Amino acid sequence: MEPAKQKSRTGLILLVFAGLILVAAVSWAAFRGADSEKNTASPAASPLPGQPANLATIEERTRAEPGNPDAWLALGQAQFDAGRFAEAARAYERGTAFAGGRADIWSALGEARVMASADSPMPAAALADFRKAAAIDPKDPRARYFLAVARDLAGDHRGAIGDWFALLQDTPPGAPWEQDLRRTIEQVGKINTIEVAERLAAVKQPAPHPLVPGGSTATAPIPGPNAEQMRTAAALPPHEQDAMVQNMVAGLEAKLQANPGNVDGWIMLMRSRMTLGESARASAALKAAVAANPGDTARLRAEAAALGVR
């Protein structure tokens, strides 16, 4: 794996792990006061949440939960990482049958079709998938990226670069696709003699919102697992890392449903969703957080704005 991609995966694992620790800390602190001798271990020392799943395990999940779009999404991701693009496309297509209103599955399907194509850099079916994703969520980063690719292939190089810059301006620093996006802008600019270096240096990505008092959970440095846990995570194959992250995010969401009063936890969930490129699900998390914590609406919306959540 390229060092930049490994770094972005590691950062994502750190981010979601931090969210789980943050949510778990509330209940852990309550028990610590009652029995300090039995609760001396920090939650940060616990094993990584979410057991890494191999491809066979993920396939078994789709058989056990054939109507669960997340199961098909996980299978598609695993097959995609294994280079089985046509199979990934079939898995994503099954997912759209159960969650046709989710932009992330449509854009993933389009990407798999692009990679599976032997004769076209942008198959018509893939372009249709990206357009569906963008119609559902105009901020879906994968759809925006590939729609700009289609524009570049059609000969509108400046228009494509403009679209990629707009995506970069909405991209949280450290998002998994950030470095690839920057390289794409540089390469297309170089090939077509379009100056982009100054614009890349000047681009402004999402920053802390001025309404957030006393620092921002949305932009704060990320705590995380210890070195041994991170070595374990980094040693996993890419598809198992992806499955682990998905399990961790699902675990974080489940904990918040059980403890909806944890405002910082909701912010970390939004941050995780945006880092994964799931802007619609980040917006859903914001709505759930506001509904559960109406007294913290101003802070939640300010932190969401810092993340680019609408």
Ordered structural domains, the chain, with CATH:
1-33+217-310 (no CATH), 54-126 (1.25.40.10), 138-205 (no CATH)
- Looking at residue 228, what is its pLDDT? 54
- Mean of per-residue pLDDT scores for the chain: 76
Phi, psi dihedral angles at 68 (to 5 degrees): -95, 110
Is the model's pLDDT at 186 over the cut of 90? yes
- Looking at residue 177, what is its pLDDT? 79
In tens, the pLDDT along 78-130 reads 888 788 999 999 999 999 999 889 898 999 999 999 999 988 999 999 999 99
Percent of the chain scoring above 90 in pLDDT = 33
